[in-house]
Amino acid sequence: MQQLLLRADQAELRLCLRINGWSRSPAVRRGFRIVSRLGDGVLWYSVLALLAALGGPAGVRGMLHVGLTSLVGVQFYAYLKNRLVRPRPYVSHGQIQCQIAPLDQYSFPSGHTLHAVLFTSMFAVYAPAVSIALLPFVALIALSRIVLGLHYPSDVAVGALLGLLIAAFSLTLVAPVAIDYATGWHTFANKWF
C-alpha cells in the first residue's frame, strides 16, 4: 500500500511539474494570474449582485442563499487547511515556481476551486444560462491553481468535490425559488436605458 501511495505521489508531482511548466510563457502566466484573481471573489460577487438586481425578491433570496452557502464553504476549507497543513507545491518542491502570491499558507484543499464549483453549481439552479457560461471559467480557475504553482492536482480535485457537495447539501436544505430573469432584465433595462 505504501508503495502504491508513493507512486501516486510521484505521478502527481510529475503532472504538477508539467502543468506548472506552462507558466514559463509570459502570456500564459499573465492570463492565469488574471483568471486566478477573478476567482478571488470579484466574478462571484458580481454575478451575485446581478442575480439580486435582475431577479427581484427571488433574486435577492437566491443571492442570500448562495452567499451564505459560500461562507460555509470558506469556513469548511479554512478548517481543513489548518488541520491538514499540506505545504504548497512550490514550498515542498524547488522545481515548482510560484507565479502569484498565495492568499493563505496551505494547499489542501483548493479554496478557489471549491468556490468556483460551489457558486456555479448553485447558479445552475438559480440562473442556468449563467452557470453554463461560467463552466469554462471554472475549469480555468482550477487549472490556474496548478499552473501558478499553488496547488497539486489532488487539492483541486478535492476542492471541486467539496464545492459540489456543499452546494448540493445547501440546495437540499433550502428549496430555491425560480427566478424570471427575462422579466427582471426588462425591468432593469426600462429603469436605466
Q: Does 109 sit behind a cis peptide bond, omega within 30 degrees of 0 on the bond before it?
A: yes
Q: What is the percent of the chain where pLDDT is above 70?
A: 91
Would you say the C-alpha torsion 136, 33, 45, 142 has a positive or negative sign?
positive
CB-hemisphere CA count at 13 Å for 11?
A: 7
Q: What is the percent of the chain where pLDDT is above 90?
A: 51
pLDDT at 179: 61
Cβ distance 94 to 122 under 8 Å? no
**Cα–Cα distance for residue pair 123/132, rounded to 1 Å:** 9
pLDDT band with cut points at 50, 70 and 90 for residue 185: very low
**Cα–Cα distance for residue pair 95/186, rounded to 1 Å:** 53
| pLDDT above 50 for 193 | no
pLDDT band with cut points at 50, 70 and 90 for residue 147: very high
pLDDT at 130: 84
Cβ distance 168 to 39 under 8 Å? no
pLDDT at 182: 54
CB atoms near residue 12 (< 10 Å): 16
Cβ distance 66 to 51 under 8 Å? yes
In the block, which residue shows the cell 518542491? 93
**Cα–Cα distance for residue pair 155/17, rounded to 1 Å:** 15
Residue 139: all three cell numbers together: 475549469
| pLDDT above 80 for 104 | yes
Residues in the chain: 193
Helix 128-147 to helix 43-84 angle, to the nearest 10 degrees? Answer: 50
Cα 139 to Cα 7, 17, 50, 130, 187: the distances in Å are 26, 19, 22, 15, 33
pLDDT at 169: 93
Cβ distance 50 to 134 under 8 Å? no
What mean pLDDT, rounded, does the chain reach? 87
pLDDT at 191: 46
Q: What is the model's pTM?
A: 0.86
| Structure confidence by residue, pLDDT tens digits, 12-49 | 888 888 999 888 999 999 999 999 999 988 889 998 89
